[in-house]
Amino acid sequence: MAHWHVCEGTWFVGVDALLNDTAGRVGGSEVLSGRAVDFLRDDLGGWPALHRAQVSVIYPGYPRPRDGESAGAFRYRQMRDAAHVDGLKPVGPNRRRHPQEFHAFILGLPLTDVGPDAAPMVVWEGSHEVIRAGLREVLDNHDPKDWHTVDVTDAYQEARRTVFETCTRVPLPARPGEAYAVHRLALHGVAPWKPGSKGRPDGRMIAYFRPEMADRQDWLISP
């Protein structure tokens, strides 16, 4: 999996890296369960069969530039936590954003015990409603089956600007045994690893589940 090391070795992206089954079992463990799972199942649209989790590992020194990243994009990684909404994929030479993955939620499960300033996930509180409103202005004019062909760059960038101006940036340091559930439309990112933070040789490691929704229409409409 060496190809998953990016940002000059300070980030292991680790898509599909965990050998879990569809119930979240790893190596004979129990089925994945707990308050976060209950919440996602009961209040956020259900609990689907799970894919192999992403194992995202950040190391001291993050961020360094990602391969081919422009100076502006690297500055955004440093100053704005590389904040993004999942699933809005860059298409073509101008990297115009198109909705091409429709996740039900983001569930983060910390796997290492590190300090609170060791590159925590950050989320902009309430941003999912700002992003939802911005994207609906464009996507409500299209059949959901065509959404992946719609350029939402301008609406997304404007909504993101509003989020930076009006929403609170909330770092989410968490320890093994804890979990966090992030709304699929929330603006989120990764804070830099603050020098001197309590770390470990195996870094700040988090397993992420981001299962696809059964019906992409729910991506904008359901809770």
Q: Whose Cβ is closer to Fe ion: residue 87's or residue 134's?
A: 87
Which amino acid, one-letter code, is at 137?
A: E
Query: Is 81 a residue that touches Fe ion (CB under 5 A)?
Result: no
| Residue of closest CB approach to Fe ion | 86
Please give the Cα distance from 49 to 41 (Å, whole number).
11
CB under 5 A: which stretch of 8-16, 84-92, 164-172, 192-200 binds Fe ion?
84-92
- Whether residue 127 contacts residue 167, with contact meaning beta carbons closer than 8 Å, is answered with yes
The region of 59-67, 85-93, 119-127, 152-160 touching Fe ion under the rule CB under 5 A is 85-93
- Structural contact between residues 148 and 124, judged by C-beta atoms closer than 8 angstroms: no
Q: Rule CB under 5 A: choose which of 86, 119, 183, 186 binds Fe ion.
A: 86
**Near Fe ion by CB under 5 A, which window of 3-11, 80-88, 124-132, 178-186?**
80-88
Nearer to Fe ion among residue 25 and residue 181 (C-beta): 181
We find the least distance from the C-beta atom of residue 86 to Fe ion, in angstroms, to be: 4
Estimate the crossing angle of helix 153-166 against helix 127-139, to 10 degrees: 160
Nearest to 40 by CA among 211, 160, 198, 174: 211
Whichever of 81 and 86 has its CB closer to Fe ion, that residue is: 86
Is 47 or 208 the residue whose CB approaches Fe ion more closely? 208
- Quote the CA–CA distance of 73 and 9 in Å, as a whole number: 18
CA gap 18, 209 in Å, rounded: 10
Q: Which residues contribute to the site for Fe ion (CB under 5 A)?
A: 86
